[in-house]
Amino acid sequence: MTAPAAPTLSPMCLPRAGALTEALLGDGATPSTDAVASARRDLEHGLTDAAGRAGARPCLRVRAFDLVTAAGGGSSAATPFRWTTRTARRRVGLAALRACLSEPGMVPAEAVALVVADPAAPSGPGPAGPGSCSDWLCSLSPPARAAVQAESTAWATAVWTSLEWDRVQPAPVVGAPDRWWDWRGPVRVALQGRADVRVPGPGGAHLVVLDGYPSAASRQALCFGPLVDALRSNGAATPARVVAWWPECGKAWVQQVDGAGLRACAGQVVRVVRLALDATERAG
Amino acid sequence: MPSPLPLIDATRSGAKTVALPAPGSLPARTVAANGLIDRLRGSVSERPAVDPGLAGGLRAWLEDGTSTAPDRGRLIVEPGPRSGLTVLVVPAAGMPGQAARQAPCRRGAPPRSGADLRAILLRTVLRLTLTAGPPRAPFEDALAALAVSEWGGLVVEDVGRLSRHRGSELREVVRHGATGIAHGWAPPPAAWLPRTGDRVIVPLAGGRVVLQSDSDLVLGAPSAGRASVCMMRALPGDGTLEGGKVRRFLMLLETLRSGAAPFRVASYDLDRGRLVVDDVTEATLSAAVQEVLALLRRRLDASEGAR
């Protein structure tokens, strides 16, 4: 399966925020409902085929991360999730960015300090509950919270300075909850779509902030969030493009969402599900 | 304008200057550890215009020099735990950047030495100080902060394995170093966009070579045509040849990442509480490229010799 090409932003353009904002607001049509229906058929057919050989097992969750990991030859199951300064920085950072957008003059360091000081507040890093980021933060000692604050401030500042926010219209949605699409066949599969910033409406876009640096494997996952949106809405809420941005290396890729990209991504999802089911079979 | 502080000439203070390509021309200055953030930022009027083609030229030079890197694993160049630059070889499989992040703290690595632990703990104290003010119990607070970081738990384990006597020594050394840090540093104004632990990763040769580092303090918004960013990294012992290499490495990485050179890079000497400042020029950036390529060449030659 060939991943779609994704043009990169020129490193010569300064300020970078201008170029990234242009990329996010660029022209382009969303894929047709026929293209979405075709991707859905491919996906459901592939999942049915893959699940036909599988015994009973709990729901399989698939994220963009899993597509990248599988394409790179790794296994995401090897590293169980735990809250750390690194895994919490996105939640805390997004809450801080929402505060910066709603309070003129506020900057990330101030906003992050407020979020970390009162994680259980409505403006905190998400709903409270066992295992949640806000419960974890509440349980930390002051120096541990300061460590989270430091890492989150660096992340939030990188995102805050990456865009010319006042140019992004309609108003962007920052850190909206992940979107899910469920497939209930012989095996239950749940796709978890994520975007850090969503520009809503027709011709909308996703900004996805990623760790590390891009590779060939990264291309496989760019259309994953749009695929989930397309499947959920039957194509009515599919974004026109995705901008993937790696602040640690300063690279950005722009991916126009089209039928071919959605079908390629659906193929990768089927591959990941096959790998997971094969691993379960070998272990069992 | 920052308040004037006595600049100590690097040669008179005994600090060694750096080599490559023109050792005497590199503008390293040493300043007393007081009002260090003002010294780091300097005056806005001193900041040069950015040459937007420079970053592309440096990258092309590096890509050229690393194009023959072997495909047997990933070569990671980064500041060493105490001083200078090191090259690590890690497996190429896995997520992009993941192996690079794991490299310094990989599980199964030999326990860190007392000097390494001291450097890690003091850098953590510095970051806490810059974020929330000086910690009340520096040793314990640094351990608490490390325990919730991605790989810091391994450092906490190493500290836990020390004998009672060595643990007490380490606590005392960290407490003493934290006093110096509290004297020189405080949380910068939020409007300067301060960030600590800012990580930069620059892949070259299709990811076969990775340059990476993290800074203890970065100030300033991204450039819009004039250099706008300054950065600092703490090092145990500085003003040496190796400290200069680390500073030039930091400025190179930031230039490659952002497309604009920072205006100033400093290292903070954890032993003596001094800040060594380099203004960024084309000469220092060229020196950084030469140093990275020379380091890689030595490492590859050594590997070939061993085979």
Local confidence band at B23 (pLDDT 50, 70, 90 cut-offs):
very low
Confidence label for B307 from pLDDT (cuts 50, 70 and 90): low
Residue A197: the pLDDT is: 97
- Facing residue for A140 by CB, picked from B96, B131, B148: B148
Q: Is residue B1 part of a domain?
A: no
Question: Are B107 and B89 contained in the same domain?
Answer: no
* B278 plus B297 within the same structural domain: yes
Sheet holding B7-8, edge to edge: B7-8, B28-31, B274-279, B264-269, B230-235, B217-219
d(CA A24, CA A241): 7
Nearest Cα to Cα of residue B288 among B37, B55, B1: B55
Residue B180 has pLDDT above 90, yes or no: yes
Is the CB of A147 less than 8 angstroms away from the CB of B256? no
Q: Say if residue B89 is in the same domain as residue B216.
A: yes
In terms of domains, do B208 and B293 share one? Answer: yes
- The answer to whether residue A78 neighbours chain B at the CB level (below 8 Å) is no
Q: Give the gap in angstroms from C-alpha B132 to the nearest C-alpha of chain A.
A: 6
Report which of B123, B141, B16, B182 is spatially closest to residue A144, judged by C-alpha positions. B141
Averaged pLDDT for residues B15-27: 34
B92 and B215 both lie in a single domain:
yes
Provide the 3-class DSSP secondary structure of residue B163. Answer: coil
Total of domains in chain B: 2
Kindly report, residue by residue over A96-150, the tens digit of the pLDDT: 999 999 999 999 999 999 999 999 999 999 888 999 999 999 999 999 999 999 9
Residue ranges making up the domain that contains B55 = 7-99+190-306
Q: Which residue in chain A has the smallest CA separation from B136? A: A143
Of A144, A151, A250, the CB nearest to B258: A250
Query: A153 to chain B: nearest residue by CA?
Result: B195
Size of interface A-B (CB pairs under 8 A): 158
> Which residues, at least 6 apart from B113, have a Cβ–Cβ distance to it below 8 Å?
none
Closest partner residue to A215 among B96, B198, B257, by Cβ? Answer: B96
pLDDT of residue B86: 92
B2 in a structural domain: no
Q: Answer yes or no: is B173 within a domain.
A: yes
Find the mean pLDDT for residues B11-40. Answer: 47
| pLDDT recorded at residue A273 | 92
- CB of A238 within 8 Å of a chain B CB? The answer is no
Q: Are residues B54 and B112 in the same domain?
A: no
Residues B165 and B228 in one domain: no
Question: Same structural domain for residues B170 and B292?
Answer: no
User: What confidence category does residue B84 fall into, taking pLDDT thresholds of 50, 70 and 90?
Assistant: confident
Q: How far is CA B135 from CA B139, B156, B279, in A?
A: 9, 18, 31
Average pLDDT, chain A: 90
Question: In the listed set B130, B152, B184, which residue is the last one of a domain according to the structure?
Answer: B184
* pLDDT for res B97: 55
Can you say whether the dihedral through the CA atoms of A163, A165, A167, A168 is positive or negative?
positive
Using pLDDT thresholds of 50, 70 and 90, give the confidence band for residue A56.
low
pLDDT digits (tens, 9 = 90+) for B89-133: 887 665 555 555 554 455 455 678 888 899 999 999 999 999 999
The reported pLDDT for the residue numbered A11 is 61
Looking at the structure, tell me whether residues B80 and B204 fall in a common domain: yes
The answer to whether residue B80 is domain-embedded is yes
> Which residue of A lies nearest to B198 if distances are taken between CA atoms?
A154
Shortest Cα–Cα distance, B58 to chain A (Å): 12
Residue B133 lies in a domain: yes
**Geometric angle at alpha carbon A220, from A216 and A224, rounded to 5°:** 150
Residue where a domain terminates, one of B129, B163, B184: B184
Angle at B155 between CA B153 and CA B160, to 5 degrees: 95
In a domain, B147, yes or no: yes
Q: Exposure of B284 by Cβ count < 10 A (0-12 exposed, 13-18 middle, 19+ buried)?
A: buried
Share of chain A above pLDDT 70, in %: 91
Of B53, B93, B96, the CB nearest to A12: B53
* Residues in A touching B55 (Cβ below 8 Å): 11
Q: Evaluate whether residue B134 is within a structural domain.
A: yes
Residue B195 and residue B177 share a domain = no
**CA distances in angstroms from B188 to A107, B25, B38, listed in the order given:** 13, 31, 9
- Chain B environment of A212 (Cβ under 8 Å): 95-98, 100-101, 201
pLDDT confidence bin for A79, thresholds 50/70/90: low
The span from the CA of A60 to the CA of A278, in Å, is: 13
Closest residue of chain A to B224, computed from CA coordinates? A15
Q: Of B55, B97, B128, which is closest to A143 when you measure between CB atoms?
A: B128
List the single residue in A with minimal CA-CA distance to B130.
A150
- Closest Cα partner for B231 from B185, B187, B267, B265? B265
Q: What H or E segment, with its residue span, contains residue B218?
A: strand B217-219
In degrees, rounded to 5, the angle at the alpha carbon of residue B275 between the alpha carbons of residues B272 and A110 is 115
Q: B151, B184, B217: which is the final residue of a domain?
A: B184
B13 in the same domain as B125: no
Residue of chain A whose Cα is closest to the Cα of B260: A14
Of A14, A143, A213, the CB nearest to B203: A213
Best residue in A213, A219, A253 for a mutation probing chain B (most B CBs within 10 Å): A213
- Please check whether residues B78 and B121 belong to one and the same domain: no
**Which alpha helices (H) appear in A52-130, and where do they start and end?**
64-71, 85-102, 108-117
